[in-house]
Chains A and B, each alone.
Chain A
Amino acid sequence: MHVVPERLRLRYTKTGRIRYTSQRDVARAWERALRRAKLPVAYSEGFSPRPLLSFSLALPTGCESQAEFTDIRFSSSSPVVSPFSVGEEWSQESLEIISKELGALLPEGLDVTASSALGGAEGSLQEEVTSCLWIVEVTGMSAAQGTERVEALLGAANVPIERERKGRQVTDDLRPSVLSLKSEGPGQRVGSIRLSAELATKPRGVRPAELLQGIDPTLRLVRASRQAQLIEFEGTYLEPLTEDGRLLGVTNPTTAKVGR
């Protein structure tokens, strides 16, 4: 019998047609896949028990990602009749089996790329991540205009944008959230310009569409891909789980891989 750890972190991608689903839809797809895999997932107490899995920062509908994460809790008292048992003596092999199995059961486009047991000291995915790397492709400007507008934004003292918060229109300053921004020339889509950006997640995350609002509201978003979710810690960047399976592994954001 394979043994799984009490807590597991998985890294996965969201590409292809499934990127048009919402974060909530993805969570539901995970729940269905976990049930089909008969994994001993722990459930919440109460009137409406839910499987205990948590996700990293919500990915806006339509955006793709190379770096999504979910933390899953397993329990030997799980109501699921499972071929797996839960305990300290879990093996790397069982993690690989789980990853492979889930990858096959998840809808196409959600691919598990790394897994690691959690020791218990790790914080919540939502709270730890401090910034995200994005590749954004837009139409509505030339490469030269792209460079110009990026410089203008970076040089501005503040960049007010309108957004909705709890049903109210508010004006926020985008500028402090833009940690880096570059125009990378022509994008994959014909006539598009590719931008790369590091956007802060605190005090609140910035969506690619909001970044465009700050650059030039007439731009049209044609593609957005989250490349990395980063945890800045004493001047170095960590990822919740690197592609090669290192938990809170150090990464160099400038070399983050550009999506397919």
Chain B
Amino acid sequence: MSSLFDQIEPLLFHVEKPARYVGGELGALEPLHGEGITSWLLAYPDTYEIGLPNQGLQILYEIINERVDAVAERTYAPWVDMEAAMRNEGIPLFSVENHLAAREFDIVAFNLSAELTYTNVLNMLDLGLIPLHADARGVDDPIVLAGGHCTYNPEPLADFLDAVVLGEGEEVVSEITDVVGAWKADPSRDRASLLKALAGVEGVYVPSLYAPRFEGCRQVGLDLLDPGAPEIVEKRTVADLGDWPYPKNQLVPLTEVVHDRLNVEVFRGCTRGCRFCQAGMITRPVRERPAAQVAEMVARGIERTGYNEVALTSLSSADFSGIEGVVADVVDDPNNGGQVSVSLPSLRVDAFTVATAAKIQQVKRTGLTFAPEGGTWRMRKVINKLISDDDLFAAVDAAFSQGWRRVKLYFLIGLPTERDEDVLGIAELGKRCVEIGKQYHQHVTVSASVGGFVPKAQTPFQWHSQNAPRELQRKITLLRDAAKKTKGLQIRWHEPAATAAEGVLSRGDRRIGAVLERVWRNGGTFQEWSEHFDLSLFQGALADEGLSMDDYTTRMRDEDEMLPWDHLSAGLHKDFLIGEYHDAIEEVGVEDCRWTPCYDCGACTNYDLEHVVASASAPAGGSQGTGQGLDLGRPVSVSLSRSGN
């Protein structure tokens, strides 16, 4: 094994952002490889700036490197200019620490966070001189793994992956290391015996041991090719986040990346129960980190990194028990001298949350973001995002009255049961928010950011159709026209075409592997970057494979139809998901089970887990999931005092 850096370096003068390729982050390790050591290459299939901050990858990086018998390095997708230069010079995909060739590692493990990065996985394998198809790999080729949220339906990538990990990696990463280490020491080893052994690890899915059968557009069967492999692969979940205070040494990159700040995960899981949200379904139950551990991780992290911003991360950080106390401790810590700001990604929509935001953004009040997701209360009951109009107006009122002048609202369109009035409701809400703002400021901006809904596996909407790009475009135009009349209201939207490709990959079956390969061979990398995205590549590839985009996107699935991911489990009972689906269509909301009785979704009971929540009662001040009779749609009274009155 030798460093490729001398070959790489002459290219660096001539590519964009060369710091992407040199490593050298604070916290990075340059581990020693050798006999008896299992080596992991943790790969993120997007650029360095996007991939570096990924917390999951950093957690595994530390856990693996803490072992005496294992090492981990990292790699990211080289940008197109670097890729061209590398191919031209015959330089394979390399790690950023020791600049070792990817194919020299025992395991190459991809983090799958977004479907449109899939073609980058293929490209990185190819650039790494690793046989693209799992069945073409020999005993000396790396084992190609994947983990991350997208693995709840990994079928589109099944041809290219040796094994897939479902759920959280903290524990399973060591079990896999043990299996691979033992296999490497076996002189008579072959690939098949390793795959069999991996299939025996809980949470590990080996696609080649399962063969789907298709009839027409549907999957009609799944043959288990190895009697030892589990019929259902269950996800892994860490019972107590307090046992895993990682990352301990968050990487501080030499060059600017997204989320370039200290990130401390305050809890995992979310039981708000938004029906469109895959993350909220697959990461249950809620497990809070002990507040004292959060405080310690923040204090040590600030001291160690020199960052002046810390994000308290989770799926809805304002729901953390005693969040005000945690925020106050950071903001008021005399060691921080008022110089450390706190950010709470994904604010809950209520006035109370705004008060917390006001506390943490005492200086820089640039903009606040809320995600009502649906334009009408009816729509929000369908998706179970139980925010009343009054909640939103109270939050917006609080924001404008406390000095903010810009409010950003996130919405989805193309949701199940959506009518034009729901879409127009977005403009109406936006208009009301502008009016509220005008009471406090002469000029305010309310921007409504609109994304097209893509149904995801393991959610209540997994059976439902999604809107075709044309229909999404029609709705965007409708909304834009309606919003034109309101000065100060901006409508922003995502490219509707990309939702079609994302839909094919989200709910695709194993036949989509060949489609992905065609898209990639036709130059379709970095498809999550709008300047590179090309729907025609997907349309052409589907046609060449005799498949129809509509079958994967706009087709309603039957509830008794076999879904390509039915053998993979996030713990959720199918009847729970179906019940939620029916409730959605009937516009019935459900409350958050962390503070109310259990609905037996399966996430706790199946794995003998429970919520780890410090406060037994819901946060005050808002109505979301707090047991205030929202399923009936009654408005919740919120009293606000205006400063100066």
Give chain A's interface residues, CB within 8 Å of chain B: 17-18, 20-22, 24-25, 28-29, 31-36, 43, 47-49, 61-62, 78-81, 105, 107-109, 189, 220-222
Q: List 24 A-B contacts (CB under 8 A).
A: A17-B22, A17-B23, A18-B254, A20-B18, A21-B255, A24-B256, A25-B254, A31-B308, A32-B306, A35-B308, A35-B339, A36-B304, A47-B363, A47-B364, A61-B18, A62-B12, A62-B13, A79-B339, A80-B339, A107-B24, A107-B254, A109-B24, A189-B10, A222-B13
Q: Which residues of A contact B337 (CB under 8 A)?
A: 78-81
The answer to whether B305 and A32 touch across the interface, beta carbons within 8 angstroms, is yes
The answer to whether B364 and A29 touch across the interface, beta carbons within 8 angstroms, is no
Measured CB to CB, the closest approach of chain A to B49, in angstroms, equals 12
Sorted nearest first, the 10 A-B pairs with minimum C-beta distance are A32-B306, A20-B18, A36-B306, A79-B337, A17-B22, A35-B306, A21-B19, A20-B19, A62-B13, A25-B255
**With A and B bound together, what is the CA distance between A79 and B364 in angstroms?**
16
**With A and B bound together, what is the CA distance between A229 and B14 in angstroms?**
25
Can you name the residue of chain B whose Cβ is closest to the Cβ of A105?
B306
Q: Which residues of B contact A220 (CB under 8 A)?
A: 14
Q: Does B296 contact A (CB under 8 A)?
A: no
The answer to whether B22 and A20 touch across the interface, beta carbons within 8 angstroms, is yes
State whether A31 and B255 are in contact (beta carbons under 8 Å apart), knowing that A25-B19, A107-B24 are contacts in the complex.
Answer: no
**With A and B bound together, what is the CA distance between A160 and B341 in angstroms?**
49
> Which secondary structure dominates where chain B touches chain A?
loop
**With A and B bound together, what is the CA distance between A17 and B19 in angstroms?**
8
Can you name the residue of chain A whose Cβ is closest to the Cβ of B5?
A17
Measured CB to CB, the closest approach of chain B to A93, in angstroms, equals 24
Q: Does B338 contact A (CB under 8 A)?
A: yes
Can you name the residue of chain A whose Cβ is closest to the Cβ of B26?
A107
B interface bracket (residues with beta carbon within 8 Å of A): 20 to 34
Q: Give B301-317 as 1s and 0s: 1 = Cβ < 8 Å from A's Cβ atoms.
A: 00111111000000000
Given A24-B256, A35-B339, A36-B303, 15 extra CB contacts under 8 A: A17-B22, A18-B22, A21-B255, A25-B19, A31-B306, A32-B252, A33-B306, A43-B339, A48-B364, A62-B12, A80-B337, A81-B335, A108-B24, A109-B24, A220-B14
- Contact residue among B26, B256, B305, B363 (Cβ-Cβ distance under 8 Å from A48): B363
The answer to whether A20 and B306 touch across the interface, beta carbons within 8 angstroms, is no
**With A and B bound together, what is the CA distance between A63 and B308 in angstroms?**
29
Q: Does B187 contact A (CB under 8 A)?
A: no
**With A and B bound together, what is the CA distance between A21 and B48 in angstroms?**
13
Q: Which residues of B contact A61 (CB under 8 A)?
A: 17-19
The answer to whether B305 and A20 touch across the interface, beta carbons within 8 angstroms, is no
Q: Does B334 contact A (CB under 8 A)?
A: yes
Measured CB to CB, the closest approach of chain A to B304, in angstroms, equals 8
The answer to whether B255 and A81 touch across the interface, beta carbons within 8 angstroms, is no
Q: Which residues of A contact B303 (CB under 8 A)?
A: 36
Q: Give B327-344 as 1s and 0s: 1 = Cβ < 8 Å from A's Cβ atoms.
A: 000000011011100000
Q: Which residues of B contact A36 (CB under 8 A)?
A: 303-306
Q: Which residues of B contact A109 (CB under 8 A)?
A: 24
Q: Which residues of A contact B17 (CB under 8 A)?
A: 61
Q: Give B43-56 as 1s and 0s: 1 = Cβ < 8 Å from A's Cβ atoms.
A: 00000000000000
**With A and B bound together, what is the CA distance between A139 and B300 in angstroms?**
48
Can you name the residue of chain B whose Cβ is closest to the Cβ of A107?
B254
Q: Which residues of B contact A47 (CB under 8 A)?
A: 363-364
**With A and B bound together, what is the CA distance between A221 and B364 in angstroms?**
43
**With A and B bound together, what is the CA distance between A21 and B306 in angstroms?**
18
The answer to whether B306 and A49 touch across the interface, beta carbons within 8 angstroms, is no
**With A and B bound together, what is the CA distance between A84 and B13 in angstroms?**
41
Q: Which residues of A contact B364 (CB under 8 A)?
A: 47-48
Q: Which residues of B contact A24 (CB under 8 A)?
A: 256
The answer to whether A17 and B24 touch across the interface, beta carbons within 8 angstroms, is yes
Q: Which residues of B contact A222 (CB under 8 A)?
A: 10, 13
**With A and B bound together, what is the CA distance between A107 and B22 in angstroms?**
13
Q: Which residues of A contact B339 (CB under 8 A)?
A: 35, 43, 79-80
**With A and B bound together, what is the CA distance between A83 and B195 in angstroms?**
58
Q: Which residues of B contact A35 (CB under 8 A)?
A: 306, 308, 339
**With A and B bound together, what is the CA distance between A79 and B305 in angstroms?**
18
Q: Which residues of A contact B305 (CB under 8 A)?
A: 32, 36
Centre residue among A21, A32, A47, A79 by max chain B CB count within 10 A: A21
Measured CB to CB, the closest approach of chain B to A25, in angstroms, equals 5
Can you name the residue of chain B whose Cβ is closest to the Cβ of A43?
B339
Centre residue among A33, A81, A222 by max chain B CB count within 10 A: A81
The answer to whether B255 and A22 touch across the interface, beta carbons within 8 angstroms, is yes
The answer to whether A221 and B26 touch across the interface, beta carbons within 8 angstroms, is no
